[in-house]
Structure 1
Amino acid sequence: MIIQKQYKFYAAHRNEELQDKCRNLHGHRYGIVCHFQVQRTGSYSTLFSDFDDKIGPFLKEYYDHGMLINVSDPLYATLKNHMEVHGEDLKLREFQGPTSVENLAHQLFTEITQMGFELVRLDVQETDTSVISYDRNDWERDNAAQVFSQTEPVKATS
């Protein structure tokens, strides 16, 4: 059986590798739809709140109103220096590669899976007309190819 849950968060990013409008700092209202494989063990399988109690606070703490940034982006060093000099604490979600929607899908798939959920597919909506569907096969293939990895361990909230 599949349970589907939806979440939203706002975040800024840029893709410094591109030579188009996405090279500029800009933001999105990201929408994610999680598709979980669950097993019925009586009258129900999993409470919706089991997902919400972990995923909602995690997205709020680490993603919402933050900036997704590649640690190799020259802007990253500038922002870190700014934070040190001015004592500001900007919310930076570090990536080991470009902050493309594909890499965001991989990172979120990893983090949600590490929370103990059996995620089978993740849809990430970047704009009103652009959605990527990322499934367990994509995730396993990307992990085997080591195309992307996180900089810090996932901290799932209880």
Structure 2
Amino acid sequence: MLTITKRLEFDAGHRIPDHKSKCRNLHGHRYALEITLQGEPIDSPGASDNGMLMDFSDVKQIAMEHLVDIWDHAFLVYEGDSLMQLLLSGLPDHKTVVVPQIPTVENLAIIAYQILAPRYRQRFGAKLQLAKIRLYETPTSWADYTASN
């Protein structure tokens, strides 16, 4: 099976409320998101994307629309962190994204997969699937979430 990967970057803040160290404080990261798609190249002579799994510009457009533009320069807050939600709600025009799990890089990779997988499937059906999400929290620390098929 052939794979392609597109890398996108965004900035976001978060906190890990119960962390034993400084990560319990408000802080941010320059995240890098790698989207790996798996499938067979398109066989459609004369088509713009003939010979490709998916045009990289389309991979990017879907990820930007459904995830990156939403998370970029936002504060990612756990839905159970009511104190942080209260604080952020008092900031006018603040970009807050509430997530269902504590926003560790591991959980954010899973959430990113859950958001993006149906979007790529919607576009190409069973011919193409989101195989893996790799989310870097720092240049030396990341989490991978792989499709379980």
Q: Distance in 1 between matches of 2:64 and 2:8?
A: 7
TM-score (norm 2): 0.82
Task: From 83, 87, 90, give the equivalent of 1:78.
Answer: 87
Segments of 5+ residues of structure 1 without an aligned counterpart are 141-158
Q: In structure 2, give the amino acid aligned to 1:94.
A: V
Which deviations, in whole Å up to 9, do the C-alpha atoms of 1:118-142 show, x marking residues without a partner?
11111111012101121113xx8xx
* Matching residue of 2:40: 39
Task: Verify: 1:132 aligned to 2:132, yes or no.
Answer: no
Q: Distance in 2 between matches of 1:91 and 1:66?
A: 5
Task: From 93, 101, 104, give the equivalent of 1:100.
Answer: 104
Native 8 Å contact 1:9 1:59 kept in 2: no
Q: Number of aligned pairs?
A: 133
* Matching residue of 2:15: 14
Q: In structure 2, give the amino acid aligned to 1:75.
A: M
Task: From 31, 40, 52, give the equivalent of 2:60.
Answer: 52
Q: Secondary structure of the residue that 1:131 maps to in structure 2?
A: strand
Q: In structure 2, give the amino acid aligned to 1:127.
A: T
Identity of aligned residues (%): 29
Native 8 Å contact 2:66 2:116 kept in 1: no
Q: Which has the higher strand share?
A: 2
* Matching residue of 2:125: none
Q: Distance in 2 between matches of 1:3 and 1:97?
A: 28
Let me know the Cα RMSD of the aligned residues.
1.6
Deviation at 1:3, TM superposition (A): 1.0
Q: Secondary structure of the residue that 2:132 maps to in structure 1?
A: strand
TM-score (norm 1): 0.78
Q: In structure 1, give the amino acid aligned to 2:34.
A: V
Q: In structure 1, give the amino acid aligned to 2:115.
A: E
Q: In structure 2, give the amino acid aligned to 1:61.
A: D
Native 8 Å contact 2:67 2:116 kept in 1: no
Stretches of 4+ aligned residues off by more than 3 angstroms: 57-60
Q: Distance in 1 between matches of 2:142 and 2:79?
A: 25
Deviation at 1:60, TM superposition (A): 4.1
Native 8 Å contact 2:62 2:120 kept in 1: no
Q: Secondary structure of the residue that 2:137 maps to in structure 1?
A: strand
Segments of 5+ residues of structure 2 without an aligned counterpart are 44-49, 122-128
Q: Distance in 2 between matches of 1:60 and 1:104?
A: 12
